[in-house]
Each structure stands twice: as C-alpha cells, then as structure tokens.
A and B are shown apart, each in its own frame.
Chain A
C-alpha cells in the first residue's frame, strides 16, 4: 500500500486569523500551487474559491434525490391504488391524484434530504478513519482557534524547502511537515 505513496503528505502552515489564512491561500494559489487544502474552525467566505474549489455536486445530488423521491412516491401510490389494489368506491376515479399529493410531497422532501446528507458525506469521503493531517500535533487547534493551510506533496510544484519557505513568507506562525504514516 505504502510503496507507491510518498511518506510525506505535505507541508502545513498555521495562521492566527482567518484573514491571514485567506491571504496565504491566495498567495499559494498565485504562486502556482494547485493541491492545497485549508482547515478552519468555522466556514470562511471565499476560502473554497481561494483553494481552487468551486463546484460542489451537493445541489445536484439533492435534486436527484428529490426527483426520485417524488416520482417514486407518486408511482407507488398510483400502482397501489389504481393497478394492484383498486377499490371501487362509488365509481370514483382510481387515479385520484389530488389525494396523492401529501405523500408525494413528503417523499420528495425525504428523498432530497437523505441524498443531500449521504451525498455530502460521500463527496467528503466520510467516514474516513485516517487522514495524514491528524498526525500534526497542533492540528487539534483547527477545531478551536487556529487556521491551517496545507500544500500537498502531490502538487507538481511541491518542494519541501521551497514550499516551507513560501508558507513562512505568507506569515505562518508554525510550519510543519505532514507525514503520511499509513
């Protein structure tokens, strides 16, 4: 498993404020790095853009779930009420679609919500028991009060000394190598 992988995941810089991190992320991007990730205790506006991450498939997946839930829900009711178990009540129409709207609506919402959450987790590759960034001791602060920028070793421009120097130049308070120990 480890032979073809670099033992080094990347270089991580720690920043004190979200503004410094945002500036650093832009700086790294402008320096030509592509494989960057940032770690912050809360979402920061513009950060995804700064690390070249623009498109999220979550809305599409949600729409897909909603459409499937809605169509499936209506089809279920139509099939039950008009095809497999038709009840003739005073000659009323078997496909009484207005009465099917509440359940169709509920299943639309249900489908969209489940797809949205499961889709979000899947796209984020969660659950994921191991990730190299957790080997950095100070990384626990990423969920409290510190802001991290990691330039990954798979980046074509990556060079340990050069990249570390860049992070320092961008006002990182600590620069650490991120080992991939798996």
Chain B
C-alpha cells in the first residue's frame, strides 16, 4: 500500500495521525497494558510520587481532624461569607469529573474511536474527583456526623428533607453521579479483570482478579448482554452528566444573590466542567503515556482532539462571562451592575483578571496547530486552565457574597492555612488514588483496544483489495 493511496477505511484508524499506531496485534496490546499491572516492578518514580502524595493525604487527615475538633471556625469563613473554599473546591472537583463521563458516555454514543484508549483512566479520574468533591460539602456542614440528615429516612423526629431546595437536589445528583460512574467503570473493567485473571502468575493476583472478575468467561452470550448494558449506561450517563453540573449551578442560580441569579449558569457551568475536566485528563495523560510507554495507544491525535475540545468549551465559557456582563448592564438592575463593576474594580478584581488570562486569553493559543501538538505547551496549558477554572468558582462564590444588597452586610474573605491544607490535601488524595489505580488496574481498556486492532486489520484488508 503506497502512502499516496487514499485510505478507504475510517480516517480515525488511518492517516498520518492514527488513534492506534500500526503494527499491533491482539496479544501485543494485551501484553503491554496488562504488564503494567501484573509484572512491572515498582519503579523509584512511582514510589517517590506515591510517597509524596501519601504525605499530602496525611496533611488532609490532620486538617480534617482539626476541623472536627474545633469546628468550621478554623477556616476563613464567617458571615457574610458562609461558603468560601469548601464550596469553591466542591464545584471545581465535581466539574473535573465531568470530562470522564463525557469521554466514556457521550463520545461512545457518537462513535468516536479515539475515546477508546483514554476512557478508562478518565473514568477513574471522574470517580476520584467525585470522591474529593464529596468531602467538601460533608465537612462544610459543621456537624458532618449528622450528614445523614440530608437523606430521606424515617426519623423519630418526623422531619423530612426539603425537596424544593437545590441543596437537596445536589445530594441526589452527586450521589447518583458517583454511583452510576462507579457502575459504568466496573462494567467496563469486567472483561479486563478476566484478562488479568487469565494472565496472572502470582497467587495473590489470581485470587484478587479471580474474585473481581466474577467468573466472566468471554462467552458470546455474556458479551451480548454486556454490550446492551454498556450502551444503555452510556445513554443514561449522558443526560446525567449534563444534569449534575446543572443542579450544581442551581445552588447558585436559584438564590437571589447578585451575580448568581442568572439563567446562563446551567449551560456555562456544564461547559466549564468539561473544560476543566479535559484539562485534567491532559494533565494525567501526558505523564502517564510517557512513564508507561503508552505513546502508541495515547497518540498525538488524542492530545490534539482533547485540545480542540478544550478550545471549544473554553469559548462557551468565554461567552458565559460575556453574557453575565451583558445581562447585568442590559437589565439595568443596580445590584447586578454594581456587582459587575465589583468584579472589574473591587477588592478581588485581581482574581477576576487572572481568571480572564487563564481561561480566555491563554487558551486562544490552541488555535495554533503547533501548540496543540507540542506536549510541554499542552501540559502547561492544562495546568493554566485548571487554575483558571478554580479562580472562576472563587470569583463566583466570594465576590457575590462579599458584596450583596446592603453595604452593612458587606465583608471580606481570606482563606486560612487550614483552607489551603484541605485543598492541597484533596489534590494529594486525588493523585494518590491515581497512583494506586495505574498499578492496580488496567489504565487502558484492553478488550476495547483488541476491538480496535480488529477494526484496524479490516481497514488494512480493504485497502489491499
């Protein structure tokens, strides 16, 4: 087959930027991915990284223990700023999770082949991000040991949750999201766990993967039902992921606080969630493919596509910022106008300008193909965007709460050491879970990669005809 010949197969599998580098067989993809879990010795890099993250998790433990001892007063929150870092971090983490579901569900329904090698760890990222997010509202309640009051259960007091409150919607949205993400992840893992069981050499591996794979035996009947469930879960997760950040945005939009009470919030929160989530996928994918030699599976095409998704969602977010300003002035509502001015000239305006630089101006570099194909640039960009998205939530929470209707109710907010320790601690927890994940479970969906090899062989066969 000559280079000039027009490929007849799917352009995703062929062309200069394939989703899977050529020359792989069923066995080679299986070996390569399974070896990371089963045989590869623990490297110094992994141990050092894990140790660092583990010590940061210890910081989280201390921060949370101190919080439980002293109460939420150790944070910078006070009236009028009741939300502070806890809610900023919660919204940020939940948003990061959204890219995993987008990749695993929405791109699956749209039949995007390039999702195959990134969906597994993106889903893991979703789970870990939701776990980090879930910590914040719980510890922010002040009496986390009574968090079960949020669940509808027949208590002796005869009281029930207020189902008209977005905060209760949030409880249901986030817990459903966590559960469905876990189920989706586990269903996807099932055949791969069976692969690991069949290849395991060490007794403990045989036992662990034997139990986890539940006796999956790759039967055509199993596969048939499996595919049915996988498709249905993808169809269910798609509206679910859109609903989750919509509900999160309702926490703000349903309130009458200036800067929160806008109808643009749901779509722009969802776009922002996907924006930051893809940035986080890149932050993880770039070191992962390098460290474990997975460049053949997570190719430049993946990085390029993810950069394009970031560019698109970043523009939606930029539109959201624009509409916020436009509506403030167009409505003529003096509180909204005042708040818009506070963002530009108030005591926290430097956060707002930093946000514009991180989220709107820097990502415009992604229009340039060279930037999208430069790995260091992409890595830096992903960190910049994640910072920007965190700043966005900070601007929304803090500026509105410090400047509401009556000047007598205005205030200032600054975070304390314990605020930063908790934020850093969840970052450590997230990274530690990822470290455990890449060595404990296949980071790339092996059975789907074999399917990709099969499809690729067909494309090549067609070319030879």
B195 within 8 Å of A (CB atoms): yes
Of the listed stretches B125-133, B134-142, B183-191, chain A binds B183-191
CA distance A126 to B172 in the complex (A): 29
Residues of B within 8 A of A96 (CB): 164
Cβ of A99 within 8 Å of any chain B Cβ, yes or no, is yes
CB < 8 Å neighbour of A43 from B183, B186, B224:
B224
A58 contact from B160, B173, B228, B450, Cβ within 8 A: B228
Q: How large is the interface on B (under 10, 10 to 19, 20 to 34, 35 or more residues)?
A: 35 or more
Q: Which residue of B lies closest to A113 (CB)?
A: B180
Using a Cβ cutoff of 8 Å, how many contacts connect chains A and B? 186
Cα A105 to Cα B228 with chains together (Å): 22
Q: Which of B443-459 contact A (CB under 8 A)?
A: 447-448, 450-451, 454
**Is B375 an interface position by the 8 A CB rule?**
no
A88 close to chain B: CB less than 8 A: no
Q: Within residues 1 to 39 of chain B, which ones have a CB less than 8 A from any CB in chain A?
A: 25-27, 30
- A-chain residues with CB within 8 Å of residue B250 when the two chains form the complex: 102
> Which of A45-53, A154-162, A166-174 lies at the interface?
A45-53
Q: Which of B41-49, B209-217, B346-354 contacts A (4 or more CB under 8 A)?
A: B209-217
Q: Mark B202-225, 1 if CB is under 8 A from A, else 0.
A: 000000000000111111111111
Q: A76 in the interface, Cβ–Cβ < 8 Å?
A: yes
**Which of B176, B224, B447 contacts A107 (CB under 8 A)?**
B176
Residue of A with least CB distance to B159 = A85
- The answer to whether A18 touches B454, judged by C-beta atoms less than 8 angstroms apart, is yes
A123 within 8 A of B: yes
Q: Is B87 an interface residue (CB 8 A)?
A: no
| CB of A164 closer than 8 Å to a CB of B | no
Using Cβ atoms and an 8 Å threshold, which residues of chain A touch B162? 81, 87
Q: Which of B231-239, B324-332, B397-405 is the contact stretch? A: B231-239
Q: How far is the CB of B432 from chain A (nearest CB, A)?
A: 27
Shortest B30–chain A CB gap in Å is 5
A128 to B179 CA separation, bound complex (whole angstroms): 24
**Cross-interface CB contact of A117 among B172, B186, B198, cutoff 8 Å:** B186
Q: Flag whether A11 is at the interface (Cβ < 8 A).
A: no
Given contacts A102-B169, A102-B247, A103-B172, contact A110 B179 (CB under 8 A): yes
Which B residues are CB-close (under 8 A) to A32? none
- A-B pairs with beta carbons under 8 Å apart, 20 shown: A37-B221, A41-B447, A43-B220, A44-B223, A48-B220, A51-B221, A53-B224, A77-B163, A99-B163, A109-B243, A110-B180, A113-B237, A116-B236, A117-B186, A124-B225, A127-B215, A141-B198, A143-B218, A144-B195, A144-B199
What are the nearest 7 A-B pairs in CB distance? Answer: A127-B214, A128-B215, A145-B26, A80-B160, A140-B198, A43-B223, A48-B224
Give the B-binding residues of A (Cβ under 8 A): 18, 25, 37-44, 47-48, 51, 53, 56, 58-59, 62, 66, 76-77, 80-81, 84-85, 87, 96, 99-100, 102-103, 105-107, 109-110, 112-114, 116-117, 119-121, 123-124, 126-131, 133-134, 140-145
